[in-house]
């Protein structure tokens, strides 16, 4: 990941203004510690803080077309840049950077080139010939993009697949098609000129990422530089479920595994720094971001600059435990659509900013554009949780990788149920956070929260505590407005309450609200799965185009 900043149409183009732009760009230096660049054209400035992943030697930004009339500053990776270069035979490229194709594609195709890009990206492109510009973001919002509205440019969505309109898909489920699409998505993300690894929690999603990456690493370009043994990373409190599960998967895949530990107090001590970097006061995001933030620092200390992670699977396949309560396939599908569209405010934000805080890039193959289109075209009847048929959550994904002849993972790992949110790093983590917040926030403070924070009013002491930290760093209305909140979206079980009113009694936004589902429903699944399979049964184990805000 990199840090980008564009100031366009600035009335003052003095040296003082240039110095101010450089100062603001330096605030993003943690995202791109390797080099910085600035292009000035009249009253327009494009700045860049680079994290060098592809072509570290010559790929500094901003980047240009052949005659330097088109300038672009990019955050992200374009996985199909070689194929795109091959289509631009009349253009001269100055670097080996994957992002340079953006300037040439614009020159060739105009603004319609964005859909040709396969990757994760945010960029600002300036055409100096008429001083027009484009600001764009990848289909899901894997990379963040904040826009100040001083210029009031028109917005349009460039990614419009059928599922985005929540049209109920009807394609039959083909496990081999799904498997091949995911393998292709992982292989794309092995594109790197620097050391890398996989974040491995031991759950289904990260284990599949590690299994596929390990299987294909030897044939990748990365193996020529860094060897064919995959590095995997996990963090948790000592004795946590994630550490145990990840070690089991790592041993099976024979990866070079790295375990990191933290204490509840170390996590609490890091909260202010975490909230500063992830720029949100959302409770579940902060809970999950803190261990990821601490792990990223350890990973960077090993010289690793890129990791592959498993975000997005739960949203695509209805993996959260409240999907057990979905009354029909229509509502199931509509809820997956809603969750995917909100990813840029939650898991994408967490994965991107927790790692970028230490100059580490996170890649997410489940959010590959082609893979999402295939997965979201499946008739949602196949995704429904059906204990009577031996189908637990994300059965279509589990089944796709259930290969008897050449197994990707042991069956009990492949059919391991999702650990409750944020508990995987250690069951005392969430409780420790709550206890700490209870000491910082009095009953009277919470009672008067609506007067202090009338917008997105916190309803728990933990939420109130995070909000006070956020407001200290980001006091402007424009900043707090970028964070989701309010009664309808304050927790991940909002739809679950509609599906089952009993869930409304639990105010905690984590998966702990699904405790009955996690235990009772899974008992049913184990029995039916065991009855339906002779070989191995599961074992019970513990968007919009742009995200908008005023630039600070």
Question: Would you call 2 a catalytic residue per the annotation?
Answer: yes
Token reading at 92: 């001269």
Please state whether 464 falls in left (phi above 0), alpha (psi between -120 and 50) or beta: alpha
What backbone torsions phi and psi does residue 86 show, to the nearest 5 degrees? -65, -25
Q: Which helix (H) or strand (E) holds 37?
A: strand 35-41
CA 292, 293, 296 angle in degrees (round to 5)? 80
Residue with tokens 């860094």, as numbered in its chain: 226
Token reading at 282: 């959302």
Dihedral sign (CA 507, 509, 515, 521):
positive
What span, in angstroms and rounded, lies between the C-alpha atoms of 432 and 35? 39
The conformation of residue 456, written as its DSSP 8-state character, comes to: S
| Nearest CA-CA partner of 529 in 408, 402, 409, 424 | 402
Beta-bridge mates of residue 3: 49
545 Cβ contact partners less than 8 Å away, ≥ 6 residues apart = 136, 137, 155, 156, 157, 158, 159
Q: Which helix (H) or strand (E) holds 495?
A: helix 494-499
Q: What is the largest CA-CA distance in the chain?
A: 75
Beta-bridge mates of residue 6: 46
On whether 98 is known to bind a ligand per the annotation, the reply is yes
On whether 235 is known to bind a ligand per the annotation, the reply is yes
Token reading at 306: 């890129």
Total residues belonging to the chain:
552
Q: In 104-205, at which residue ranges do the beta strands (DSSP E only) sit?
A: 119-127, 132-137, 196-199
Residue 268 to residues 294, 349, 432: CA-CA distances in angstroms?
A: 11, 20, 8
What span, in angstroms and rounded, lies between the C-alpha atoms of 113 and 104? 10
Catalytic residue among 2, 234, 348, 491: 2
- Judge contact between 467 and 437, C-beta under 8 A: no
Q: In 382-505, at which residue ranges do the beta strands (DSSP E only) sit?
A: none
| Nearest CA-CA partner of 96 in 65, 133, 57 | 57
Token reading at 273: 């720094």
Chain-centre distance for alpha carbon 281: 17
- Judge contact between 490 and 459, C-beta under 8 A: yes
Chain-centre distance for alpha carbon 202: 18
Q: What is the CA radius of gyration of the chain?
A: 23
| Nearest CA-CA partner of 46 in 91, 80, 90, 4 | 4
Residue with tokens 């980047």, as numbered in its chain: 63
Is 342 strand, coil or helix? coil
What span, in angstroms and rounded, lies between the C-alpha atoms of 6 and 21? 9
What span, in angstroms and rounded, lies between the C-alpha atoms of 383 and 394? 6
Beta-bridge mates of residue 132: 127
As annotated, the binding site for ATP includes: 199, 235, 309-310
As annotated, the binding site for L-glutamine includes: 98
**Which residues have a catalytic role annotated?**
2
As annotated, the binding site includes: 98, 199, 235, 309-310
């Amino acid at each position: 990941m990199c840090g980008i900043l564009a100031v366009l149409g600035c009335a003052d183009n003095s040296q003082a203004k240039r110095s101010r732009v450089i100062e603001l760009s330096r605030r993003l230096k943690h995202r791109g510690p390797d080099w910085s660049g600035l292009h000035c054209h009249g009253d327009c400035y494009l700045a860049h803080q680079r994290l060098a992943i592809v072509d570290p030697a010559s790929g500094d930004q901003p980047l240009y077309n052949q005659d330097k009339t088109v300038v672009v500053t990019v955050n992200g990776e374009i996985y199909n840049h070689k194929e795109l270069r091959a289509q631009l035979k009349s253009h001269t490229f100055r670097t080996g950077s994957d992002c340079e194709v953006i300037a040439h594609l614009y020159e060739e195709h105009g603004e319609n080139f964005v859909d040709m890009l396969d990757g994760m990206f945010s960029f600002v492109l300036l055409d100096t010939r008429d001083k027009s510009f484009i600001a764009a973001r990848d289909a899901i919002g894997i990379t963040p993009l904040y826009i100040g509205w001083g210029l009031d440019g028109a917005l349009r969505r460039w990614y419009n697949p059928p599922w985005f309109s929540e049209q109920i898909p009807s394609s039959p489920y083909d496990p081999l098609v799904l498997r091949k699409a995911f393998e292709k998505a992982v292989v794309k993300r092995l594109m790197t000129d620097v050391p890398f690894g996989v974040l491995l929690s031991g759950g289904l999603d990260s284990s599949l990422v590690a299994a596929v990456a390990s299987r294909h690493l030897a044939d990748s370009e990365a193996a020529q530089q860094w060897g064919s043994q995959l590095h995997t990373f996990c963090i948790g409190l000592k004795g946590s479920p994630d550490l145990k599960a990840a070690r089991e998967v790592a041993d099976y895949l024979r990866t070079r595994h790295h375990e990191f530990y933290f204490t509840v107090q170390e996590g609490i001590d890091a909260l202010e720094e975490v909230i500063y970097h992830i720029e949100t006061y959302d409770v579940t995001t902060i809970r999950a971001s803190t261990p990821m933030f601490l792990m990223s620092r350890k990973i960077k200390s090993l010289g690793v600059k890129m990791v592959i992670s498993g975000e997005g699977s739960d949203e695509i396949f209805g993996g959260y435990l409240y999907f057990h309560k979905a009354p029909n396939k229509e509502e199931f599908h509509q809820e997956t659509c809603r969750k995917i569209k909100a990813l840029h405010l939650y898991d994408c934000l967490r994965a991107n900013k927790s790692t970028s805080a230490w100059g580490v890039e996170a890649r997410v193959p489940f959010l590959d554009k082609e893979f999402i289109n295939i997965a979201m075209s499946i008739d949602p009847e196949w995704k429904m949780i059906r204990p009577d048929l031996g189908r637990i959550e994300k059965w279509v994904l589990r089944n796709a990788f259930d290969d008897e002849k050449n197994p990707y993972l042991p069956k009990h790992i492949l059919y391991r149920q999702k650990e409750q949110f944020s508990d995987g790093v250690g069951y005392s983590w969430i409780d420790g956070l709550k206890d700490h917040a209870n000491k910082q926030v009095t009953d009277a403070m919470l009672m008067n929260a609506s007067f202090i924070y009338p917008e997105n009013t916190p309803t728990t002491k933990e939420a109130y505590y995070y909000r006070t930290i956020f407001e200290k760093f980001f006091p402007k209305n424009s900043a707090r407005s970028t964070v989701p909140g309010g009664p309808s979206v304050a927790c991940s079980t909002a739809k679950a309450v509609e599906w089952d009113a009993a869930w409304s009694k639990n105010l905690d936004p984590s998966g702990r609200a699904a405790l009955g589902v996690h235990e009772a429903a899974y008992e049913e699944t184990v029995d039916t799965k065991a009855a339906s399979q002779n070989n191995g049964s599961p074992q019970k184990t513990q968007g919009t185009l742009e995200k908008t805000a005023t630039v600070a």
